[in-house]
Amino acid sequence: MNEETENMMTDDEINSNIAEFQHAIVVAELNYEIWWVYKEKDNRAKYLKVLNNYPLYFQTSLHAHFVAMIISLYRLYETRKDTMNLPQLIRLFKKHSVLANDEIRNIQSNINSIRPLWRKVHILRNNMFGHRSNKLTDDAIWKKADVTPNQFKQIIDDSKALLNRITRLWAKSSHVFNLSATDDTIRLLEDLKRLNDKKL
């Protein structure tokens, strides 16, 4: 985004970008939930026969949902000036005196507190998924990222809180993040389990 574009930024464009961030968080959370249903050890034990009956489908699905989550989380906090991301949005707010300086500082502090976890996403995205490192093995990349499922969930939850704080200050509104894919995913696995049990 060049300076001319910044100067032309309208309220509608800011609102549009905020809506994009809200969508990115929803996408990250839905894909995380589906991925975690597949990965969580109790679910894997319960639905192992189902997963094994359709191995290529569930292996591909597991990978696809994980990558979709990583890409969505990555774009929220990347720092490029030619894309819209949360640091860039705050920079625009500061440049155009949209929010009070103390609020800008508090939001920036929130972003800085999320960044150590986001760097783990950054490592995975830039070495394994968005790009492929020719220096690091898969094991080395995972070891470098040193990330847990709960940390992905924490980034998502912290991002929801941060964005709602921004929108309350900007537009006196907040977004209800109330979509969930967990029940649908479990229901799908239950249906497949019942179908397979009937065949036995």
Residue pair 155/13 in contact by the 8 Å Cβ criterion: no
Q: Where are the domains of the chain?
A: 3-199
Cα distance between residue 56 and residue 114, in whole Å: 35
The verdict on pTM exceeding 0.85 is yes
**What confidence score (pLDDT) does residue 28 get?**
97
Cα distance between residue 71 and residue 196, in whole Å: 34
CA neighbor of 85 nearest in space, from 18, 23, 26: 18
Helix (H) or strand (E) holding 97: none
**What confidence score (pLDDT) does residue 5 get?**
47
**What confidence score (pLDDT) does residue 7 get?**
53
DSSP result, 173-186: ---------HHHHH
Whole-Å CA distances, 87 to 34, 70, 163, 168, 187: 28, 18, 12, 17, 38
**What confidence score (pLDDT) does residue 4 get?**
43
Six-digit token pair at 20?
């994009």
Q: Is the dihedral of CA 66, 68, 71, 76 positive or negative?
A: negative
Cα distance between residue 37 and residue 44, in whole Å: 8
CA neighbor of 149 nearest in space, from 77, 60, 66: 66
* Grouped pLDDT means (10 residues each) for the chain, 200 residues: 54 88 97 96 93 95 96 92 87 83 93 95 87 75 91 97 93 91 96 84
Cα distance between residue 200 and residue 192, in whole Å: 13
